[in-house]
Amino acid sequence: MHAPTLLKQADYAQAAIQYILSQYPQGTSIILMGHSMGGIVATALLARGESKAPIRAVITMSTPALLSPVRFDRRMEDVYTSIRNTQLGLLQSDQAHIPLVAICGGATDPQVGSEACAIPFNKAPYRRTVYTTSAEGVWTGVDHLAMVWCHQVRSLLSRVALELANTPPQNTVTTLQKWLMVDATQVKHDPHLVDLTNMKPVYVPVDGRLRISEPSAGLHLLPVPPPTEELASGAHSFTLFVLGGNVYNHRSEKSFLNDTFKVKILSCDASPPSVTLPSCRTLGGEVKLIPNPPRDAPFPAKEGVPETEGLFVFEASVPASKKEKWVGVLVEEGVQERVDRGRI
């Protein structure tokens, strides 16, 4: 790459931003997205202390963040030193705090490999790398050119931009984290008893499997097997798959449009003989979203896989006990799709 040309492009981008913002009310900010070397131009704007453009966030796509693929003059070294300092949050400028996210296609991109595209992780200022294989609604590698027209990527980044436009600046990092980082969310164990008044629990047989095709409000109890010689860890693994519902307020976009059911997972102990219902508390574990493409269709589908098709997975470790214990699956109103199955 030719350093003077790259810097001229940064000058032009800065002037264009200033002009565009002059047509909008004061206080309007802008989100920069750059593909390939365009991402270097966008990042270069953050490195400029004299830039007064109110940038909300910078998102690069398939950008060679580590080094230039081809260098035509030694001044590119200075450009990349400045870029590297921006990535590391070492710059002393008014724009050093602006979030920077790198979207990378992974092994599918032969022009800009994973190592060259990734930026160093940092909490403050916010710096993250997102691979398309783990991005919600994408879940596949994307090559260098396809990054700008891939339906799944466009849909995701459009959603991020719209969400940022509708949230205050102090929530920028939270919004980016919510839509771009698909991490398992921890659910903490709650020692307080859950109110099960008027509940009529359904007891699943030992070694049985729970499958609810048409969920309705109710409590389903799966017995926790006692310790065995083969169970070296002293704990069972519990997994629950939920499609079309809401797990501890984690929901797909489809759930916002439909009156779907809610699911909570409980740890239940036998109560005194005078009490008909078991004593139940929130079971700690983790919730994550995984792809759920149609069985008989290619993945990814030609029209793209929408983020609404995600399947929630709840996983928890349940200690084996000689006492009578259950894992409770509490389904709350209303009713739409289905809970698939949970088993120990």
Sign (positive/negative) of CA torsion 81, 82, 87, 90? positive
Interstrand relation of 262-269 and 325-332 (parallel, antiparallel or unpaired): antiparallel
Q: What angle do CA 321, 322, 326 make, to 5 degrees?
A: 55
What is the spatial distance between Cα 281 and Cα 239, in angstroms, rounded to a whole number? 17
Residue whose tokens read 């800009």: 112
Query: SS3 for 30?
Result: strand
One DSSP character per residue, 66-108 reads: SS-SS-SSTHHHHHHHHHHHHHHT---STTTTS-EEEEE-GGG
76-88 residues labelled b (16+ CB within 10 A) or e (exposed)? beebbebbbbbbe
Nearest one of 267, 278, 280 to 317, comparing CA atoms = 267
Would you give the DSSP letter of residue 140? S
What is the spatial distance between Cα 61 and Cα 181, in angstroms, rounded to a whole number? 15
For residues 103 and 39, the answer to whether their CB atoms sit within 8 Å is no
Instruction: Centre a 10 Å sphere on the Cβ of residue 167 and count the other Cβ atoms it contains.
Output: 14
**CA end-to-end span of the chain:** 57
Q: From the candidates 22, 29, 36, 134, which is the catalytic residue?
A: 36
For residues 117 and 68, the answer to whether their CB atoms sit within 8 Å is no
Cα distances (angstroms) measured from residue 103 to each of 60, 134, 141, 222, 335: 6, 11, 11, 42, 37
Instruction: Centre a 10 Å sphere on the Cβ of residue 205 and count the other Cβ atoms it contains.
Output: 8
Interstrand relation of 185-187 and 246-247 (parallel, antiparallel or unpaired): unpaired
Told to judge if 321 belongs to the known catalytic residues of this protein, a careful annotator would answer no
Active-site residue list: 36
